[in-house]
Amino acid sequence: MNFGGLISAAPVFDAIAWFDPIRIGSTSLLASASTADNAPFIFAGILASLVVIYLASTIGGEVCARLNLPPVLGQLIGGLVVGISALHLLVFPEGGGDSSNSLLMSFLEATAGLSVDGVTTTFQIDSEVISVLSEIGVVILLFEIGLESNLQELLRVGTQATIVAIVGVVTPFLFGTLGLITLFHISTVPAIFAGAALTATSIGITAKVLAELNYLNRSEGQIIIGAAVLDDVLGIIVLAVVASLAKTGEVELTNIIYLILSSVVFLVGAILIGRWLNPYFVQLVDALRTRGQLLIPALIFAFVLSYIATVIKLEAILGAFTAGLVLAETQKCRELKSQVVPIADILVPIFFVVVSAKTDIGVLNPAVPANREGLIMASFLIVVAILGKVVTGFTVFGQEKVNRLAIGVGMIPRGEVGLVFAGIGSATGVLPPALDAAIIVMVIVTTFIAPPLLQVVFQRSPEQNLPQPEAIASSPESR
């Protein structure tokens, strides 16, 4: 519906009736004129973005479910389709988009009468809001994964997970760095940078696939989750080392020690304090009488831990995962899980669609000559990235019936963490453009290859009785 004609014929009404009841406080309306004027457009843009995200994630997920592929792969592909790589419906300033190439903003201009003046502000604010919603989405995802995890089991497989994590960081880092130096004659610092980009597993994608395959609570699942969490911590430490190396040429030891110490103190401290707090949590929840009496205290706990994790330079998702892990031990866990399901249902798809909407797969096009050097290096990085993680499964000892291949494959997706390395590398000028593109290609391929691969290796597992993916996707257990 295009009411543009009607609307622009009435400028007075336009300026005044476009109000927003929430955004206007008790003092001057025009105190923040630029945003107040655009308030209804900003919210209309959010509504339209959410509709695009949900359509992309649902259609993508459903298609993959019918092809016996993990739905999360479909959500990622849905994100590619609506994002910077194809339809330009959902683009972000950080992903190379701007208001002029955002199809959604054009749609708002056409349908909602958004003015050319307002489009920049609206685009920027909407991008920020959707980015924050996607961050809340991954926080809720890891909170839910934490709730589904089993601390006892995680501690039982702790040694194996630690070895998997360390081997999975050291192997690709060493082979990647040395290979780039010897085979591609890259100089040391950029080679180390690219090697570092090969280290960290994307916990979000792996955990989601494991949940979809109903493997989260088995030994393999818990080893992978444990290793992925440690990987995340190790990745942050590696990033700190490499970044200071790139900038000053030497490693700032105090930072590294600080990071390691704060990680250990945080993870151990949160679990110990959390377990001690658990009975009080149950008492508190039982005493509350208003709506959300279980959910709100649980979210306060998760957000406080996420905040602390962010503040000590770890990641918010580590805090959320730990909160879930601790609350999984209370008697309220079952009820809490069932309440978190709908929240995750509406927030988690935002994360996966946004991550891939921001990823430009244009670097994969071999018809562009500039891409070719990068693609050759990318092939090498992909092989190292996959083999470097697959070997980790075979370091697992003392677990006879475990699917070793599945553990290794579970560590493959690099996801957003690898993109951070590429981003910092290109920002500091350390990485030559071809290598920068190669890292991005490696991240895309490992991220998209892992979900179907994981499904294949779990299906081959002889001693496991794997339910049909369709049944899982909509069954209550997988929630």
Q: In whole angstroms, what is the distance from residue 226 CA to residue 193 CA?
A: 25
Q: In whole angstroms, what is the distance from residue 180 CA to residue 412 CA?
A: 20
Segment 428 to 457, residues that bind its own copies, using CB under 8 A: 428, 440
Of the two residues 95 and 179, which places its CB atom closer to its own copies in the complex? 95
Q: In whole angstroms, what is the distance from residue 7 CA to residue 309 CA?
A: 48
| Exposure class string for 200-232: b at 16+ Cβ within 10 A, else e | bbbbbbbbbbbbbbbbbbbbbbbbbbbbbbbbb
Query: 327 is written with which tokens?
Result: 């609350």
All residues at 6 or more sequence positions from 373 whose CB lies less than 8 Å from its CB, including other chains: 434
Q: Least distance to its own copies from the beta carbon of 216, Å?
A: 14
Segment 17 to 36, residues that bind its own copies, using CB under 8 A: 17-32, 35-36
Per rule CB under 8 A, count of chain residues that contact its own copies: 132
Which secondary structure element, helix H or strand E, spans residue 45, and what is its range?
A: helix 33-66
Segment 155 to 214, residues that bind its own copies, using CB under 8 A: none
Q: Least distance to its own copies from the beta carbon of 289, Å?
A: 5
Which range binds its own copies by CB under 8 A, 106-114, 157-165, 394-402, 450-458?
A: 106-114
Segment 253 to 272, residues that bind its own copies, using CB under 8 A: 254-255, 258-259, 262
Q: In whole angstroms, what is the distance from residue 462 CA to residue 404 CA?
A: 12
x/- track of binding to its own copies for residues 334-353 (CB under 8 A)? -----xxxxxxxx--x-x--
Of the two residues 396 and 472, which places its CB atom closer to its own copies in the complex? 472
> Which residue, among 383, 414, 15, has the nearest Cα to 200 in the 3D structure?
414
Determine which residue in the list 117, 279, 292, 366 makes contact with its own copies, applying CB under 8 A.
292
Of the two residues 184 and 258, which places its CB atom closer to its own copies in the complex? 258
How is 168-220 classified by DSSP, letter by letter? HHHHHHHHHHHHHHHHH---HHHHHHHHHHTT---HHHHHHHHHHTT-TTSHH
Segment 36 to 55, residues that bind its own copies, using CB under 8 A: 36, 40, 42-44, 46-48, 50-51, 54-55
Query: 207 is written with which tokens?
Result: 């955990």
Of the two residues 74 and 195, which places its CB atom closer to its own copies in the complex? 74
- Give yes or no for residue 69 binding its own copies (CB under 8 A): no
Determine which residue in the list 135, 153, 329, 373 makes contact with its own copies, applying CB under 8 A.
135
Which range binds its own copies by CB under 8 A, 273-281, 300-308, 372-380, 399-407?
A: 300-308
Which range binds its own copies by CB under 8 A, 170-178, 179-187, 307-315, 449-457?
A: 307-315
Determine which residue in the list 68, 117, 268, 313 makes contact with its own copies, applying CB under 8 A.
313
Q: In whole angstroms, what is the distance from residue 198 CA to residue 42 CA?
A: 38
Q: Cα-Cα-Cα-Cα dihedral of 202, 206, 211, 212, to 10°?
A: 120
- Give yes or no for residue 116 binding its own copies (CB under 8 A): no
Of the two residues 164 and 238, which places its CB atom closer to its own copies in the complex? 238
Q: In whole angstroms, what is the distance from residue 324 CA to residue 280 CA?
A: 16
- Give yes or no for residue 373 binding its own copies (CB under 8 A): no
x/- track of binding to its own copies for residues 73-102 (CB under 8 A)? -x---------x-------xxxxx------
Q: Least distance to its own copies from the beta carbon of 396, Å?
A: 27
Segment 382 to 411, residues that bind its own copies, using CB under 8 A: none
Which range binds its own copies by CB under 8 A, 153-161, 189-197, 242-250, 382-390?
A: 242-250
Determine which residue in the list 223, 233, 240, 327 makes contact with its own copies, applying CB under 8 A.
240
Q: Least distance to its own copies from the beta carbon of 157, Å?
A: 25
Which range binds its own copies by CB under 8 A, 61-69, 161-169, 185-193, 326-334?
A: 61-69
Start-to-end CA distance of the chain, whole Å, equals 38
Of the two residues 248 and 465, which places its CB atom closer to its own copies in the complex? 248
Of the two residues 156 and 337, which places its CB atom closer to its own copies in the complex? 337
All residues at 6 or more sequence positions from 363 whose CB lies less than 8 Å from its CB, including other chains: 371, 374, 437, 440, 441
Of the two residues 84 and 229, which places its CB atom closer to its own copies in the complex? 84
Q: At 119, is the secondary structure helix, strand, or coil? A: helix
Contacts 24+ apart (CB under 8 A), 432-437: 432/186, 432/190, 433/370, 433/374, 434/370, 434/373, 434/374, 434/377, 435/180, 435/186, 435/190, 435/194, 435/374, 435/377, 436/374, 437/363, 437/371, 437/374, 437/375, 437/378
- What's the distance, CA 427 to chain centroid? 21
